[in-house]
Each structure stands twice: as C-alpha cells, then as structure tokens.
Chains A and B, each alone.
Chain A
C-alpha cells in the first residue's frame, strides 16, 4: 500500500474550531462531520484504498469555495477536491487531516451556445449530462469515458479523461475551451473562454490532467459537435490477439481514422457476453469493435476497406451493425466490460498503461507469462486505436496475499508499458495508485520540474498532497538554485 503524508496533529487537534469556521462559510447541511456520514466519502473508484476525511464540505457557490480555500491556505489545512468520486487511481482519496471539498452541488448547466458550439457547465454536471442537454438539437460532447453516466465534467478536466471516441475526437483537453478556477489562496481566475487558444502560457492545457493539485475548477466551457449523419460499428473476431493487433495497425496506417477501435481478449469477451448479451462470438481469441462515422457513403466505403484489411489479417468472424439498436448493443458489451469482469471475480484491479500499438502482441504475451507467475487471471480490454491498455487483474482480497500479488502484477504490467516505449497511465491518472511508479518514467530532475509547477500554484502543498508525486519537497527547497559562477562552458563551442 502507498503511504500517505503524515497527518498534521495540530490541525486534527483544532478540528472543532475548524468545523465551526467552515459552518460560518457554508451554512446548513454543507459541512459533514458525523463519522457514519463521512464513511460514504472514504473511497473513490479505487476501492482498495480507504480513508475517512476530517470533514466534508459541500459548497454551493464560487464565493464559498473561494472562502473555504482562503481559510485553508491561511490555516495550513489540506484540501482534497472531488467531483463524482469515480477516479480509478485514487485521485479523490481523502486525507485523515484534510477537508474533502465535494463539488456535487455545482450541478447546473449555465449556458448552451449553439452559435459558438459550446456549453458552459458547472463542474458537477455529469459527462453524459452535457450530451443530454444538447442532443435534441443533434449535438453531443465527444469524450465519452465508460463511466460517463456518473463521472463529472470537473473530474474529467482533472483527469483529462478519454473514452472510446477520443481516437478521432480527442481527449478532454482537446475539447475544453475554458475554465473558471479557484486557487488555494481563494483567488478566482478564468482561463480560456469561448475563443480558441491561449494568449499567454497555456495554463488551461496544464490544468487538464492536473489531478486536482493546482486548483478547484468551478466552471467548464466545452466544445460540442454535431452528431455525424450515420455511425456504424463492425465486430471482427480473430483466432489470435496478434492478428487483431495487426489489423488495427493496418487500419490506422491505411489512412482511416475510425471513430473508435476497441479490442477485447477472450476472458473479457466471455465476461461481457455473459453479462449483457451483446451478441459477441465466443469462439474467437480476440474481438475488435470498429466504429466509423460520417456520411453514409463514406461509412460504407470505409467499412468495406476495414473488412478487407481484417480478412487479409485472418479474421474469422464479422458482423456489421444493421441499425442503431444493434450498434448500441455492440458498445454496451464493451462499456460494461469492467462490471462484467466484476461479476466473475470478487475483486478486480484495473490497469491503464499506454503502449505503441505495434508492441501489443509482445505486451499481451508477456502479460500471459506474468499471469502464470502471479497465479492470477487477467482479462484485457484495450482502446486499440490509441494503444491504451486496460488489463483487469482478477483477485480476492479476502484470500491470503492476493491483493498484494495483484498490486505487484499491476506494477509489473505498467513497468512493461514504460519499457516498450509507453507510459504509466493513458486516461485514469496517477493518483495514489501509480504514484510510486513515477520513477520508472521520470528521473529526479523531471519530477522536480513538475513539482515546481505545483509550487507556482500552491506554494504550501495543501491541494491534494500525496497524489501524483512519490516524494514531497518543500517549494523553498525546490526553488533554490545552485550556482557555480564564473565557469565558462565549452570554450571551443562554435560562436558566430
């Protein structure tokens, strides 16, 4: 288990006084301290980690957020922001001596602007809620994480969430035009707006994926798109993972950018089919779901090209969705893959590495060896188009050392991802889960450079500490420069 920062005893000792002051700022039911009520907040989507916060605060106005933050800054109290709490990396895990700042009451859509093709929403609005608000006009919000029915747009910004359609339409960061954000000292800043691109440093881009360590987002402006004329999905089955992987590479390199290409291995196919009866073939080793969207004529032509490439790579099964209902069913299986695996094992641990696409077969082969070594089964779902793997390691936390083995297995998978030229996390974030693996990708200078960015926003390290960075340094220490004066480098360096 990952160690969290040592709780501040002086803060815990002053709990009553702190709660009283918070109640001044957020009156009514917005401050929660009863132990049994706090328990509802003790974990996020990474359920292996649990910790009750000192107090939960649920503000309902930007002014309240600003006042809470300014108070915490002044008093040295730690703050963990949370949207819907669906993080799979423990990014919203509370701290024993910290305030859990829930943004659930910020649940309104503030403006729908079709002319500028954007929606202004409060951070607690769900991802799907944005699409629901504009779909009657034929528009939608493109990033669609599998948890879209529950996850909040503010959380999406914090994690730079992806989804099955981000291959063609980009991640959260490519679809957010602006945010309003409260800094730890209570200052409210606006980054971006309804226009494109930043005038100075692209802080909006920096905030996306910053995991709640730089500020608390209180408003988000996202780009919306007109739904394509048609969308059709094709299921393609293969006798091996390698052939499925090769087909994906062939599709992408032929110049086709599908709306999504997903891959599932045999255990995942069976779990999903048992759960939602999506119509998946059960006699294949690997299944691709490839979706193409656009005008009917284009979709037809590209589907034919995909079919040809799949056949050339040894596909043994193919089925094209004939209507919207069938297309939705194809996706239902994929989107329910995590809970489906959850039905066949007491616990599972979901990983999130990204690899260069052409290393897929190698990585899946090594994963099979690891599975034998650790004695734990693994099912794979995979955003194949962009190389993002989601191995689901199956274990039983009540059985001996299985949790520990699952964690070690997971760490080995992520190290493998880095070894083949990939990264630790594609869309779930570092959080607490992958924090201590950051050293496999970054050296000390890299990590110190990132932590200095943290210092630029939060010099006292009060916002979500213990997440992302394996070692906490004081900003004063990081800011210091070690100067050796007077030494001119490379006297023979070419000059002009």
Chain B
C-alpha cells in the first residue's frame, strides 16, 4: 500500500474519498487496526487513518446518549461512562488479542462498523440496537448524515442499521451517537457443572424462558473450562454452564435464588460466582480468551437459533477435525476453533448448520486462508443482488474497503 492518509476534518476526508473515487483508487479504512485481520484481504491503493477524528463530542448522562468521533478509543469512552456508572449495554468484546494484537486498541468506529456484541446480546441487543445516528462520507465522496440523537426516531430509513456491520464498505463514518445505560449495581452467575451440550442448552433455555431476566447464558465444555482464568471454573472438574443475573442487589439475590431453586432444579447442583469473579468470567467469554494465542488455529463465529446450538455443536464435533468450541447466547452463538489447514474446513463448518437458519463467519485466520474461502456466509441469490445494489448506491466505484466482505462488493 503506497500511502496512508490521515485526514482530520470531514471536508478533508470528503475530498480524499472523492479523489479516490475519481481515480478508482481503493482505500482501506482504518481506526487503530485492531480488527484489520477480520474480513477478506484487500488490495488497497491507500489507507485512510481515522485516528484524526478523536474525542467525545457530547455525553449527556441524563439523556443516556453519547456522541463521539469514530477514531476515539473505546476504552477512553468506557472510562468516561464508568465515571457516571454507565456503559454500553451491548458489552463490546475486545477481539484485539484474539486477532494477534494488543488489548484495548479498539475504536468506537470499528466497534460500530463490525456490530460485535458480547454475552448481554441475549437481553439487551447488539450494537445495532443502540446506534442512534452518524455523520459519514459515502464512497461517492458525499458527506451525509442519518438518524439523530434521540432514542425514538423513524424519520427516514434507518441507515444506522446498514452502517452497523458493513465493515466500512459503504461509507466512512466520522462521528456516531449511541445509547448508553446505567451499569447494573450487582452481578451474580449461577453455575452448573458437568452437563453435556444437550443438557446445557436445555438448562440455558429454561433460564432464558424464565421471568428472571437472565443477562447472559453460556456453556464451556470441560476442555475449555479447564483452562479458564477463573479458578472456580478451572477447578470445577467438568463442563461449566453459566447464567448471569444483573440488577439492584435485592433483586439479584432474589432472582439468583429462584433460578437455582426453581428453574434449574433438576438440571444439577448449582454454584455461584459473585461480583468480581462473575465479571471476570464473562469478560473471558466475551473476548474469546479460550482461543487467544493458539498458533495455527482458525476461529469461527457461528450464529444459530439458540435451542439448535447443541445439535450444531454436536455436528461440528463429528464433522470438523480437531474442533474445540464453547457456546454463548443461550446456545445461539458458537465460538469454534479448528486447525487452520488450507481452508479452515469451511465446507464442513457450514454444512454443520444443516437446516438451521444462521451464519458462520471466519473471524481469525491467516490472510491466504481468508483469501481462499468465503469469510462471511455465502448469500442467497436475491440477497446477494440487494447487497450489490446497496454497494452501488453508496460506493459505485468500489473504493471503500472493496472486497472486504464479498468479492466485488
């Protein structure tokens, strides 16, 4: 890549993209590069470094909103929020270490562009559900805005949804406005030990079907639990199935008790993780720490209907050699590590989805592998046409992260 440009005003960025568009010069859009290895490798002619767009623009704790320039480090924003006992409810994962980089490097722009949400997804939604508005420059070299700074807004199309999860292929956002929420006063996790996947997903389902507002539901098979950084989990001696409860102390105590005594009664003996250990455990699940630092390993992220997670996991275990996995989102999210080989066993991985709706994304693999296999789930014909049409609408000359998601898009 010849050059990396670092614009620091929307007008500079607009001119840069307009120039790239005129020259048909593909640009790689970068925050601090923590998720650069996610997606298909690109042949960019130049880079756009967005770290010139830094700083919180507006944070109103009473209104529960925060607006920031997209190059602002997520950690910096979360520190500001923590000072007011607030946070993003979608529990953003830090995939830096998984992808071979350092922790704490993510920017808010990259977080929104990749729509990555953590364990609380089951209760509170993903980034998309908290993303209220933005300013951006499209691949046409035009500055535009969408959404607003209020939580309830149906004025025009919800372009926030399109930007969130577009991996920078439609427009370069310069600032974003998100909803924030108070941090729960207390957290507790109810654990069951020694369940197989079928029994575990049944227990998670029972928890999520209850009225006790389970805010996270995961299952670590024994081989994963054994390596946990949380000693209770590590020493449990078997697979660990975990359900988290958050809220005001009096409520957390009540719900954790009900969950253990009524809902999970008959699923096995229960244990509890409190406060700090509970937080540590879910950070491990969120940041995919079980698969950090494994050489020669490819990592998949698979989203399926939650109750079907056990079946899909079982098929993965049978059909994919060397498969290791754990489940989040009540069974609906499978993190899968496989020996990388030449193709990360993509055909077997996707075949294991069977009739379930959902998708498998290759989150971590060497560039040659990501160039050789579909990183994102191949799309049905009608949807693929719409994808191409949307790319045409925003970036007809294919200058913004071209090919990062799909060839030709």
A386 lies within 8 A of B150 (CB): yes
Question: Which residues on the B side are within 8 Å of A243 (C-beta)?
Answer: none
Contact assessment for B144 and A446 in the assembled complex, using a CB-CB cutoff below 8 Å: yes
* Alpha-carbon distance between A328 and B306 when the two chains are bound, in angstroms: 34
Provide the main secondary structure of the chain A interface. loop
Task: Check A495/B3 contact, CB under 8 A, given A201-B162, A457-B389.
Answer: yes
Residue from the set B159, B212, B383 with the largest chain A CB neighbour count within 10 Å: B383
CB neighbours (8 Å) of B4 from chain A are 495-496
Q: Are the CB atoms of A195 and B332 closer together than 8 Å?
A: yes
Say whether, besides A200-B379, A206-B162, A488 and B153 are in contact (CB < 8 Å): no
Q: Which of B357-409 contact A (CB under 8 A)?
A: 357-359, 361, 376-377, 379-380, 382-383, 385-387, 389-390, 392-394, 396-397, 405-406
- Do A425 and B153 form a contact, CB below 8 Å, given A457-B386, A484-B22? yes
Interface segment, A52-60, A290-298, A371-379? A290-298
Give min CB distance, B117 to chain A, whole Å.
7
- Taking CB atoms, residues of chain B closer than 8 Å to A194 are 305, 308, 356-357
- A33 contacts the other chain (CB 8 A): no
Which of B93-101, B203-211, B220-228, B232-240 forms contacts with chain A? B203-211
Report chain A residues within 8 Å CB of B251. 294-295, 297-298, 301
Could you say which residues of chain A place their CB within 8 Å of the CB of B303? 195-197, 199
Assess the B248–A228 pair: CB atoms within 8 A: no
A82 at interface by CB-CB < 8 Å: no
A218 vs B111: C-alpha distance in the bound complex, in angstroms? Answer: 33
Known A200-B383, A298-B247: A170·B5 in contact at CB below 8 Å: no
Q: Give the complex CA separation of A32 and B35 in angstroms.
A: 56
How many residues of chain B are within 8 Å of chain A by beta carbon? 105
Stretch at the interface among A35-43, A171-179, A232-240: A171-179
The one of A423, A429, A481, A495 in contact with B21, judged by C-beta atoms closer than 8 angstroms, is A481
- Interchain CB contact under 8 A, B151 and A386: yes
Query: Is residue A3 contacting chain B, with contact meaning CB distance below 8 A?
Result: no
> Is A468 in contact with B161, judged by CB distance below 8 angstroms?
no
Say whether A115 contacts B205, CB under 8 Å: yes
Chain A stretch 188-219: residues in CB contact (< 8 A) with chain B:
188-206, 208-210
Nearest B residue to A89 by beta-carbon distance? B154
Among the 9-residue stretches B71-79, B120-128, B292-300, the one with 4 or more Cβ atoms under 8 Å from chain A is B120-128
Chain B residue nearest to A387 (CB atoms) is B150
Interface residues of A in 380-401 (CB under 8 A from B): 383, 386-388
> Which residue of chain B is the closest to A227 with respect to CB atoms?
B211
Instruction: Tell whether, in the assembled complex, residue B149 and residue A356 are in contact, meaning their CB atoms are under 8 Å apart.
Output: yes
Does B352 sit at the interface, judged by CB under 8 A? no
A208 to chain B, nearest CB (A): 7
CB contact between A445 and one of B52, B142, B387 (< 8 Å): that residue: B142
Q: Which residue of A lies closest to B7 (CB)?
A: A493
- Checking B62, B140, B210, B390 against A249 with a beta-carbon cut-off of 8 angstroms, the contacting residue is B62
Residues of chain A within 8 A (CB-CB) of B117 are 197
Quick check: B12 and A493 within 8 Å, CB to CB? yes
Within 8 Å CB of A116, what residues of B? 305-308
Chain A residues contacting B155 (CB-CB under 8 Å) are 423-425, 430, 434, 438, 441
Alpha-carbon gap, A190 to B129, bound state (A): 20
- CB-CB contacts of B236-276 with A at 8 A, as 1s and 0s? 00000000000110110011001000000000000000000
Residue of A183, A194, A355, A488 with most partner-chain B CB within 10 A: A194
The interface bits of chain B over 1-42 (1 if a CB of A lies within 8 angstroms of the residue's CB, else 0) are 001111100001001101101110000000000000000000
Is A310 positioned at the interface, with any CB of B under 8 Å from its CB?
no
Task: Classify chain A's interface size.
Answer: 35 or more
* Contact A209 to B392, CB < 8 A, known contacts A188-B382, A422-B148, A422-B150: no
B386 A189 Cβ-Cβ under 8 A: yes
Determine if B158 and A253 form an interchain contact, defined as CB atoms under 8 angstroms apart: no
Inside 8 A of A27's CB, which chain B residues have their CB?
none
Instruction: State whether A442 and B156 are in contact (beta carbons under 8 Å apart), knowing that A253-B62, A357-B62 are contacts in the complex.
Output: yes
B380 and A190 contact, CB distance less than 8 A: yes
Contact: A455 with B145, CB < 8 Å?
no
Cβ distance A353 to chain B, nearest Cβ, rounded Å: 9
Contacting residues, chain B, for A454 (C-beta < 8 A): 157
A9 within 8 A of B: no
Bound-state Cα–Cα, A166 to B150, Å? 13
Q: Which residues of B contact A489 (CB under 8 A)?
A: 12, 15-16, 18-19
Contact of A159 among B154, B248, B356 (CB under 8 A): B154
| CB proximity of B85 to chain A, nearest CB, Å | 7
Docked pose: A279 CA to B176 CA in angstroms: 44
- With contacts A173-B161, A229-B211, A453-B393 taken as known, whether A483 is within 8 angstroms of B21 at the C-beta atoms is yes
- Interface flag for A415 (CB, 8 Å): no
Contacts of B283 on A, CB cut-off 8 Å? none
Is B304 an interface residue, CB under 8 A from the partner? yes
Nearest opposing residue in chain B for A187, CB measure: B382
B25-65 interface mask toward A, CB cutoff 8 Å, 1 = contact, 0 = none?
Answer: 00000000000000000000000010010000000111110
Q: In the complex, what's the smallest C-beta–C-beta distance from B167 to chain A, in angstroms?
A: 10
Is the Cβ of A117 less than 8 Å from the Cβ of B208?
Answer: yes
Q: How far is the CB of B227 from chain A (nearest CB, A)?
A: 27
Does A62 sit within 8 A of B, measured CB to CB? no
Contact B22 A354 (CB under 8 A): no
Most buried by B among A199, A358, A450: A199
Verify A297–B254 contact, CB threshold 8 A. yes
Q: Which residues of B contact A178 (CB under 8 A)?
A: 357
Are B150 and A115 in contact, CB atoms less than 8 angstroms apart? no
Chain A residue contacts of B361, Cβ below 8 A: 199
User: Which residues from chain A contact B304 at a C-beta distance below 8 Å?
Assistant: 195
The answer, yes or no, to whether B333 is at the interface (CB within 8 Å) is yes
30 contacts between A and B (CB under 8 A): A113-B305, A113-B307, A114-B209, A116-B307, A138-B211, A190-B383, A193-B305, A193-B357, A195-B358, A195-B359, A198-B165, A199-B303, A200-B379, A200-B405, A201-B166, A202-B164, A203-B383, A205-B164, A227-B211, A228-B211, A255-B85, A294-B213, A298-B247, A387-B152, A424-B155, A446-B146, A449-B394, A456-B389, A494-B52, A495-B3
A sample of 5 more A-B contacts (CB under 8 A), given A190-B357, A388-B152, A426-B150, is: A188-B382, A297-B254, A355-B150, A481-B397, A489-B15
List residues of chain B with CB under 8 Å of any chain A CB: 3-7, 12, 15-16, 18-19, 21-23, 49, 52, 60-64, 85, 115, 117, 121-122, 125-126, 128-129, 138, 140, 142-146, 148-162, 164-166, 170, 181-183, 185, 205, 208-213, 247-248, 250-251, 254-255, 258, 303-308, 329, 332-333, 356-359, 361, 376-377, 379-380, 382-383, 385-387, 389-390, 392-394, 396-397, 405-406
